[in-house]
Amino acid sequence: MEFAEHGAEAPKRLGIGEYLVRHLREYGLLFALITIMVFFQIVTNGTLLKPVNVTNLLLQNSYIIIMALGMLIVIVSGNIDLSVGSVMGFVGALAAVMIVEWEQSIAVTVVTCLVAGGLIGAAQGYWIAYWKIPSFIVTLAGMLVFRGLSLWLLEGQSLGPFPREFQMIANGFVPDIFPSGLSQGVADLLGARRVNMLSLSTGLVAAGLITWMGMKSRAQNRAYGMDLEPLAFFYARIGITSLALIFIFYKLSTFRGLPNVLLTMGVLAIIYAFFTERTVMGRRIYALGGNEKAAKLSGIKTERLTFLAFANMGVLAAVAGMVFAARLNSATPKAGFALELDVIAAVFIGGASMSGGVGKIVGAVVGAFLMGVLNNGMSIMGIGIDYQQVIKGLVLLAAVIFDVYNKSKQA
């Protein structure tokens, strides 16, 4: 009666097996990440999830995740950007020259670097959007150009160190705002040496928000008569995700607390998730990647969207460049070399489609973490870089084959 009054059919309840088959793209990656983490936790005798290694894992993959957010939008729009690693290295070199040689303030340097990244992305986006030159060619040229400019700017040598204030972008931690007595009391209760209450509280709040948003989304699906996720699977998914968040933030709390770069990644991920899923422009980018001609005929300004996607990618590459330079405490001519491959791989492994129109921010973030866990776990095990590259390549190939298989199955 309730659904009849609102003009909607009662939601169809799917079995767990049927639901998983229909949503294998979204959940297969999450299961793969959990499996890989459990595997490396066992074979490294618990080293993978030690507090110091969890912190290092976040710091080491921060710039990959930041660029993956922009790369997802570029790939969803039906394009690709091969220049992000070189742009990242160039902006890091620019920051080093401005701070170390020209003695500019950090504020002026940060603003200049962001503007430079945006202009670089806009310049490439202009040729792709309005002259219809394939993005592969334009960004391949950009990769070579900015790799050369980095060498020229640094004169083939590393440049540093940076002031501590600039290093804090990547290596700093948010101070605990809670009283030390409370932190010590909670640490005694949990059997830990010390606990950063801000980090632990952030994990609890994040878990609460995930649960609330999941319940709200389920209620909306029910109201609109959409297929409902099996209740047992829904609670299991929300529970596992929430416990994982609390566990990670607890590990951080027993080391040095929240890294500054984690806040940067978190805020950016939330903004871009909201943009892609809740805004008109975000939906239009998916329409552009799904069928550009149809999108143009429906009144969408496809050229402007493509142009903005690349300008945005340039800004995020600039952010990543400053984070990378701050973490190393120097700018090097080889910074960002081949890093574009890791960024693109993270997005494809995260569920984005090669043909555009498909992909989520959460998937890109999880894909980047999966690549990071693979790198970190294999390094702890002492596996050589040659075998690491082979394994990462096979993982990427498996993700692309899975995408093609899914499309052929749906056709």
Give me the percent of the chain exceeding a pLDDT of 90.
64
pLDDT at 240 over 70: yes
Helix axes 51-76, 361-380, angle to 10 degrees: 140
pLDDT in the model for residue 188: 73
Residue 121 contacts residue 314 (beta carbons within 8 Å): yes
Residue 90 contacts residue 325 (beta carbons within 8 Å): no
- CATH of 62-172+259-410, picked from 1.10.3470, 1.10.287, 3.30.1050, 3.40.50, is 1.10.3470
pLDDT in tens, 79-127: 999 999 999 999 999 999 999 999 999 999 999 999 999 999 999 999 9
Alpha-carbon span 91 to 317, nearest angstrom: 8
pLDDT in the model for residue 410: 60
Contacts of 130 (CB under 8 A, 6+ apart): 303, 307
Percent helix, percent strand, percent coil in the chain, to nearest 5: 75, 0, 25
What the block records as the tokens of 370 is 């999966």
More confident residue, 180 or 299: 299
pLDDT at 8 over 50: no
pLDDT in tens, 301-359: 999 999 999 999 999 999 999 999 999 999 999 999 889 989 999 999 888 888 889 89
What the block records as the tokens of 312 is 């945005």
Alpha-carbon span 25 to 21, nearest angstrom: 9
Residue 31 contacts residue 237 (beta carbons within 8 Å): no
Q: How confident is the model at residue 16 (pLDDT cuts 50, 70, 90)?
A: low
pLDDT at 2 over 70: no
Q: How confident is the model at residue 234 (pLDDT cuts 50, 70, 90)?
A: confident
Alpha-carbon span 194 to 68, nearest angstrom: 34
Q: What angle do CA 390, 395, 398 make, to 5 degrees?
A: 125
pLDDT in the model for residue 9: 52
Q: How confident is the model at residue 272 (pLDDT cuts 50, 70, 90)?
A: very high
Contacts of 208 (CB under 8 A, 6+ apart): 242
**CA nearest to 58, candidates 334, 332, 245:** 245
pLDDT at 42 over 60: yes
pLDDT in the model for residue 407: 66
Residue 160 contacts residue 330 (beta carbons within 8 Å): yes
Q: How confident is the model at residue 384 (pLDDT cuts 50, 70, 90)?
A: confident
Alpha-carbon span 336 to 260, nearest angstrom: 21
pLDDT at 7 over 50: no
Which of 122-131, 229-238, 346-355, 378-387 is predicted least confidently?
229-238
**Paired strand residues for 228:** 13
From first CA to last CA, the distance across the chain in angstroms is 36
pLDDT in the model for residue 43: 93
pLDDT in the model for residue 125: 97
Which of 7-21, 35-49, 273-287, 358-372 is predicted least confidently?
7-21
Instruction: Calculate mean pLDDT across residues 163-176.
Output: 93
Residue ranges per structural domain of the chain: 62-172+259-410
Instruction: Calculate mean pLDDT across residues 50-75.
Output: 94
Output the DSSP codes for 209-267. HHHHHHHHHHHHHHHTTPPBPPHHHHHHHHHHHHHHHHHHHHHHHTTT--BHHHHHHHH
**In angstroms, how far is CA 283 from the centroid of its own chain?**
19
pLDDT in the model for residue 21: 67
Alpha-carbon span 232 to 340, nearest angstrom: 40
Alpha-carbon span 219 to 339, nearest angstrom: 41
pLDDT at 264 over 80: yes
Alpha-carbon span 279 to 404, nearest angstrom: 28
pLDDT at 402 over 80: no
Alpha-carbon span 153 to 374, nearest angstrom: 34
pLDDT in the model for residue 354: 82
More confident residue, 269 or 15: 269
Ramachandran region of residue 68, left (φ > 0), alpha (ψ -120 to 50) or beta? Answer: alpha
Instruction: Give the predicted TM-score (pTM) of the model.
Output: 0.92
- Main-chain phi, psi angles of 308, to 5 degrees: -70, -35
Which residue type occupies 48?
L
Instruction: Calculate mean pLDDT across residues 55-66.
Output: 93
pLDDT at 1 over 70: no
DSSP code at position 178: S
Per the prediction, the chain carries an average pLDDT of 89
Instruction: Calculate mean pLDDT across residues 209-217.
Output: 90
DSSP code at position 177: -
pLDDT at 4 over 50: no
pLDDT at 5 over 50: no
**CA nearest to 90, candidates 50, 123, 128, 53:** 123
